[in-house]
Structure 1
Amino acid sequence: MEYRTIGKTGMNISCLSFGASSLGGVFHEVDEKKGIKAVFTAIEHGINFIDVSPYYGYYKAETVLGKALKDIPRNAYFLSTKVGRYGQNGVNTWNYSGKRAKESVYESMQRLHVDFFDIINVHDIEFADLNQVVNETLPALVELKKEGVVKHVGITDLQLENLKWVVDHVPTGTVESILNFCHFCLNDDKLTDFLDYFESKGVGVINASPFAMGLLSMRGVPDWHPAPKELVEACKRAADFCNKKRYPIEKLAIQYAVSNPRVTTTLFSSANPDNVLRNIQYVEEPINTDLVNEVQKIIGNQMRVSWKNT
């Protein structure tokens, strides 16, 4: 496993990291015991960064992850969670107030059985008033940083422009990392356009969703996937092509996602320990760059076609 330092945090983290959304049954029902084993498998095979959120499974992901973390030494992993996006009984809610952000951090600490977080992220800022994020949410998290509850502060979003806007409007060093998803994968490399900017600000870059929320998989996308039909069809053709080459598109996708050393780490999510181990094995093998080029030609004019967050 390759390790890279994220921004100026000093955190040396695995290039592939564990996203815990699957533990909340976000994509399908989860076997809790298998989910806990998936966490153990990740740590045992070199992954040392875990990301979660109270929003995933409406607190369930944090709860299940907490059961696993009770039996893992705290110095064996870096942990991030989020504030701002929540939900209950199938209804999404958002609250980016400073007061709620602080409360949320302490609630997450209880669910996860930890006494500090390595990173706290403001979650999906496109749903927030960005001025509130700048003037209220982030200052509240900086206060927790001064108290030692939080070591580093970050922001997450699908829209790269929002991430840049917030970094531009806060004091230097406030935002130490950004987490962006679906913009550094086989069908969309838009994140590369922003790397110079984030590096100039000393902001570390976390990539997520190497399979583009299922676009880059043989299983295909779930019904709720927001991608336009033409993009779904193009990625299906690419997946079929890889299958004929006996090179699973999932393998190519995850290898591609970790291929740029300027992107510190890529989060994937699985509650299946076999899938976790398979993905780790994939990144330890050399990527077939010729196949990358062929796949991207198949995707063609659907490259960099995105969608709105949901």
Structure 2
Amino acid sequence: MSVMPETYVEGFHDVSQVKLMPYRSLGKTGLSVSALSFGASSLGSVFRSTDESESLEVVKIALQSGINYVDTAPWYGHGKSESVLGKILPTIPRASYYIATKVGRYQADVNNMFDFSAERTLQSVDESLQRLGLEYVDGIQIHDMEFAPSLDIILSETLPALQKVKDAGKAKFIGITGYPLANFNIVAALFRTCFCAEKCEQNVLAGVQVDLFFWSRTVLEKSHVHIDTILTYCRASMNDNSLRDWLPYFHNHGVGVVNASPISMGLLSNRGPPSWNPASLIIKKACAEAASYCNDNGVDISRLGLKFTIDQEDIPTTLVSTASCDNVRRNIDSVYTPLSDKEQQVLEEVMERYMKPLNNANWEGVEVANYWRLLAEQQGKTTLVECQEKSELS
């Protein structure tokens, strides 16, 4: 590209790299973001043990190469991701990047994992700014809203608290995040009518057949607080590209879309997914067979997965997380290096043979069901409704 982005800083950036990076508008935020953005979850050692010195170098390489959007959260390493960023960001021009963090998800202990109250939300923002060493973040987002005990707490407490944060100049835009494309708070609809805890997963999986589009409109249109962005993950990938069905709605409402995890949390990799990946055995088997087919043909399935997503130009930006210098360089190179004829041929075969039969299969509701079941068991509740009511009152 010939026109440099607003985040270009002479003397800091690698000019040749920045010129190659595509930049796209993020809804109506006014931000022009790099097609590839940096997910900082790996800095929190979420996936493996990491070397802090290499993590710091990864961030520097990413930003100097033209990546200008960074996403983090208190949940990633329980503050570690933000703290690591706080060690490198003071050495980097503030004008060279946009950064977003989150509120709502905090601790590994299931009893204290989520807190969407206004008081905790305001406290969390200040804690994040302190760890990051910043006076403000560009984006502040509700983390995994589908785990909230009700839609009411999101609309009456979390979002108004984030508006106060924005009014105070501590953030520039407000976003919501989650896995379900249905409103990122489908739990409010599904779990109010759930039966006993041990039947939860069955009820949830049946419940996702309701009009999910209605619930998306509920969050975006019922909120008195303007929502600038949504972030979802694993939904613009080779194995599940259902985000495409929702893009027109988000675009028509001026909502910027941040996509994450183009390789579906390790499904589209030679190493395979971590044990906690919630995908069904059918999905895992199809992806493993696809990876094997790619390997037999001398093609990297992870590169195919990244290109499949990045080349969808109506998706503003895609987050990829790594704490490896080699990986971040490889990811950046993949953005502007076209697939070879052989890679394109293998991609088409993989899509037809392994991915098309999946029909955008997903795991909506599974993680949420497991969370509420575990919470109900630990709190000695016989129904999920009891558990949710306690969560709302606490």
Q: Does the alignment reach a TM-score above 0.5?
A: yes
Distance 1:91 1:15 in 2: 37
> Is residue 188 of structure 1 aligned with residue 244 of structure 2?
no
Count of residues paired in the alignment: 309
- Partner amino acid, structure 2, of 1:166: V
Distance 1:55 1:270 in 2: 16
Kindly report which structure 2 residues correspond to 1:145-156, keeping only aligned pairs within 5 A, or say none.
145-156=166-177
Distance 2:355 2:249 in 1: 27
> Is residue 292 of structure 1 aligned with residue 347 of structure 2?
yes
SS at 2:116's partner residue? coil
Aligned to 1:121: 141
SS at 1:266's partner residue? strand
Kindly report which structure 2 residues correspond to 1:30-41, keeping only aligned pairs within 5 A, or say none.
30-41=50-61
CA contact (8 A) 1:296 1:303 kept: no
4+ aligned runs moved over 4 Å, structure 1: 88-92
- Partner amino acid, structure 1, of 2:281: K
> Is residue 241 of structure 1 aligned with residue 304 of structure 2?
no
> Is residue 170 of structure 1 aligned with residue 223 of structure 2?
yes
Displacement of 1:148 in angstroms is: 1.1
Displacement of 1:89 in angstroms is: 6.8
Distance 2:112 2:331 in 1: 31
How has the CA–CA distance of structure 1 residues 89 and 167 changed in structure 2, closer, same or farther, with 3 Å as cutoff? closer
Q: Tell me the alpha carbon deviations over residues 143-173 of structure 1, each in whole angstroms, 9 at most, x when there is no partner.
A: 21112111000000100102423113214x7
Aligned to 2:72: 52
Distance 1:133 1:17 in 2: 27
Q: Tell me the alpha carbon deviations over residues 121-140 of structure 1, each in whole angstroms, 9 at most, x when there is no partner.
A: 00000001222112211111
What is the TM-score normalised by the length of structure 1?
0.96
- Partner amino acid, structure 1, of 2:285: E
What is the TM-score normalised by the length of structure 2?
0.76
Structure 1 unpaired stretches of 5+? none
> Is residue 282 of structure 1 aligned with residue 303 of structure 2?
no
State percent identity of aligned pairs. Answer: 43
- Partner amino acid, structure 2, of 1:309: E
Aligned to 1:254: 306
Distance 1:68 1:89 in 2: 29
- Out of 41, 46, 54, the position equivalent to 1:21 is 41
Structure whose CA Rg is larger: 2
Distance 1:31 1:221 in 2: 21
Distance 1:111 1:48 in 2: 20
How has the CA–CA distance of structure 1 residues 151 and 61 changed in structure 2, closer, same or farther, with 3 Å as cutoff? same
Higher helix share: 2
Q: Tell me the alpha carbon deviations over residues 269-293 of structure 1, each in whole angstroms, 9 at most, x when there is no partner.
A: 0001110000000111124544332
- Partner amino acid, structure 1, of 2:88: A
- Partner amino acid, structure 2, of 1:22: S
Aligned to 1:229: 281
Aligned to 2:367: 309
> Is residue 133 of structure 1 aligned with residue 133 of structure 2?
no
Higher strand share: 1
Displacement of 1:299 in angstroms is: 2.6
How has the CA–CA distance of structure 1 residues 170 and 90 changed in structure 2, closer, same or farther, with 3 Å as cutoff? closer
RMSD: 1.5
